[in-house]
Amino acid sequence: MGMTVVQKILARASGKKAVQVGEVVEPAVDLAMSHENAALVINQFQEIYKGTGLEPRVWDASKIAIIFDHRVPAESAKTATNQKKVREFIEQQGIQKFHDIRGTSGGICHQILPENGYVRPGMVVLGTDSHTTSHGALGAFAFGVGATEMASVWSLGMALNIEVPATIRVEALGKFPDYVSPKDFILHLIGQISAEGANFKVLEFHGEAIKKMNTSGRLVLCNMAVEAGATSGIVPGDSETVRYLQKEAKVGEEIPLTIPDRDAAYEKTITIDVSLLEPQIACPHTVDHVKPVNDTEGLKIDQIVIGSCTNGRLDDIAVAAKILKGQDIAKGVRMLVFPASWKIYRESLERGYLTDLIDAGAVVMNPGCGCCLGVHQGALADGEVALSTTNRNFPGRMGNPHSEVYLCSPAVAAASAITGVITDPRKGAN
Amino acid sequence: MTNTPASCVGKVVLKLGDDISTDVIYPGRFMATVLPAETPQYAFCDLVEFNTRLKKKEIPPRSILVAGKNFGCGSSREQAASALKGHELLIIAKGFARIFLQNAINLGLRIVVCPDLEASEGDEVEISGQRVINRTSLKTFPMVPLPLTRQAIIDAGGLIPYTRKRLLEKHA
């Protein structure tokens, strides 16, 4: 019996010829990512060394990446103190893949890792962030862990007690209609299989629509795989992966690809014809509460958010700018735009997208997680409704348990900004 | 120090539904707080009444929280597990999201997977071997044991001592 792509990656990283689903392995970690929560990882890391007589040293300073993005610039003295502590640790340990709050190199971790060519096909990537699943877009086995588990990785260089997960194969057939995007595809899939439909499993994406999808779109799919409970989402590396890494991330060396065997065993296969998809909306207060846009059309919106690790990339901002160019955002609607990195911010600026958005009335924020997780930069009032291209809509997600968050694609968000109510971008476009 | 206590009895102090996210257990706006001594004050802080009872120490240790499917979905923030552990709660759910489950095991938060459990707030519930007994309704429900690999971390007293042992073996 052949192996899925994740089985192949885990076999390689565990020094085995083959691994079976359910088998326990201890794979070597190729990349270990943290953000501000590195402050907690550091505490736990030092705790591990207590009483051992050993000096706390990370196993490999070149394989650790730390990116400040969740609360940038610091929203409180507490965060500023945590960030300072992390900077000191980075200096002391010689960690090089560090992205501080800087216009030349900063951004959201799930954009910074691909953008800098840190993630390669076949890698084992762990991150202290649930959306670490994103990096499956480059053919890596990437998953989220808690701070203590990361501290363990920093000490030993391997992930302990990993059970080889079963894989669900997702076949995406056909061609996306205009104004229907990878976001609509993944929301539809989560709605179909539920928020725990892939718990402890991998979603492996295939099919004509994936083959033609750029890395930006694949990042959307893998980013939100965790919202179906998946350990990881993965698009096996292909010519697009090589193109992205060489042309966009400027990787000079050869890029070997890991692909699944033809006779790999999948738990099941889900087939979706994307040509039949409509724009989708995830309604409060779970990500699997998904409806076609028409079922929610006309709902009044107070705040529109475009950005985040899900939809803050250049093509997302381009779509929004195209729809909003020469238009006015509806009175009473606040629109916030968070590019996913400063590189994307600059490119959006140079192409005129940011001017188009600002002229329409949008507020362009600094790259970072922004209001997605309800810490700062755009809290909601009691009873307010947000329409957002981010990835979560749980109660209180945007900082107020008495507000509502609807999730959508950048096209739906931009079209709705003009009308002030949830709007089908296909109608606005005609 | 076991996640599936061989035997204990407690009262159900809160019953929740499916898909209770870490945004509800420990809202993102308190993520800058990381110390296990400080996180418990924010446990379920948007469920104001329950949070107040927790803070006033009106909920005795080993009280039971009952939840539906996919408890702990969402963010990987470990504070969600450390905050509940600080109050020494026992969580019985129909199912747990992967990262939360692992965080609970790593930190020693007591959790029980019991897919068919029927219990209401105020019920007295007993954990006995591999069964959950609702002493109020007198019904018994099977629990799903944790995989052996995770039990090894629990038996070591959590992931920190487990890793420490591995580290010492490596340097021996």
- Whether A225 and A325 map to the same domain: the answer is no
A129 contacts in chain B (CB < 8 Å): 75-76
A399 close contact with B: CB closer than 8 A? yes
B98 close contact with A: CB closer than 8 A? yes
Residue % of chain B over a pLDDT of 70: 97
- Whether A330 and A217 map to the same domain: the answer is no
pLDDT at B5 over 90: no
- Under DSSP, the state recorded for B90 is E
A281 contacts A422 by C-beta, under 8 angstroms? yes
Q: Of A176, A250, A248, whose CA–CA distance to A213 is shortest?
A: A176
CA angle A151, A66, A135 (to 5 degrees): 90
Mean pLDDT across B30-47: 96
- Whether A130 and A9 map to the same domain: the answer is yes
Q: Of A30, A112, A98, A104, whose CA–CA distance to A66 is shortest?
A: A98
Tell me the nearest-neighbour CA distance from A200 into chain B, angstroms: 6
- Whether A384 and A416 map to the same domain: the answer is yes
Phi, psi of A10 (to 5 degrees): -70, -35
Q: Mean pLDDT of successive 10-residue segments in chain A (430 residues)?
A: 96 98 96 98 98 97 98 97 98 98 98 98 98 98 98 98 96 98 98 97 98 98 98 98 98 97 98 98 98 98 98 98 98 98 98 98 98 95 98 96 98 98 83
Mean pLDDT across B117-123: 98
- Residue of A24, A51, A374 with shortest CB distance to B27: A374
Which residue of A lies nearest to B168 if distances are taken between CA atoms?
A52
Pick among A42, A129, A148, A160 to test the B interface (most B CBs inside 10 A): A148
B69 close contact with A: CB closer than 8 A? yes
Domain termination residue (choose one: A224, A246, A272): A272
| Residue-range domains of chain B with CATH | 7-171 (3.20.19.10)
First CA to last CA across chain A, in angstroms?
51
A147 contacts in chain B (CB < 8 Å): 34, 78
Tell me the nearest-neighbour CA distance from A194 into chain B, angstroms: 10
Number of domains in chain A: 2
Q: For residue A304, what is the domain's CATH number?
A: 3.30.499.10
Q: What pLDDT, on a 0 to 100 scale, did the predictor assign at position B129?
A: 87
- Whether A238 and A316 map to the same domain: the answer is no
Domain termination residue (choose one: A237, A272, A307): A272
- Whether A236 and A303 map to the same domain: the answer is no
- Whether A254 and A344 map to the same domain: the answer is no
Determine the Cα–Cα distance for residues A348 and B92; give it in Å rounded to an integer.
Answer: 49
- Whether A152 and A216 map to the same domain: the answer is yes
pLDDT at B2 over 70: no
3-state secondary structure chain A: CECCHHHHHHHHHCCCCCCCCCCEECCECCEEEECCCHHHHHHHHHHHHCCCCCCCCCCCHHHEEEECCCCCCCCCHHHHHHHHHHHHHHHHHCCCEEECCCCCCCECHHHHHHHCCCCCCCCEEEECCHHHHHHHHHCCEEEECCHHHHHHHHHHCECCCEECCCEEEEEEECCCCCCCCHHHHHHHHHHHHCCCCCECCEEEEECHHHHCCCHHHHHHHHHHHHHHCECEEECCCCHHHHHHHHHHCCCCCCCCCCCCCCCECCCEEEEEEHHHCCCEEECCCCCCCEEEHHHCCCCECCEEEEEHHHHCCHHHHHHHHHHHCCCCCCCCCEEEEECCEHHHHHHHHHCCHHHHHHHHCCEECCCCCHHHHCCCCCCCCCCCEEEECCCCCCCCCCCCCCCEEEECCHHHHHHHHHHCECCCHHHHCC
A82-121 residues touching B, CB cutoff 8 A: 82
B27 close contact with A: CB closer than 8 A? yes
- Whether A102 and A177 map to the same domain: the answer is yes
- Whether A319 and A258 map to the same domain: the answer is no
Domain termination residue (choose one: A215, A246, A272): A272
- Whether A238 and A283 map to the same domain: the answer is no
- Whether A261 and A285 map to the same domain: the answer is no
Phi, psi of A97 (to 5 degrees): -80, 65
Pick among B25, B75, B146, B153 to test the A interface (most A CBs inside 10 A): B75
List the domain range (segments joined by +) for residue A115.
Answer: 5-272
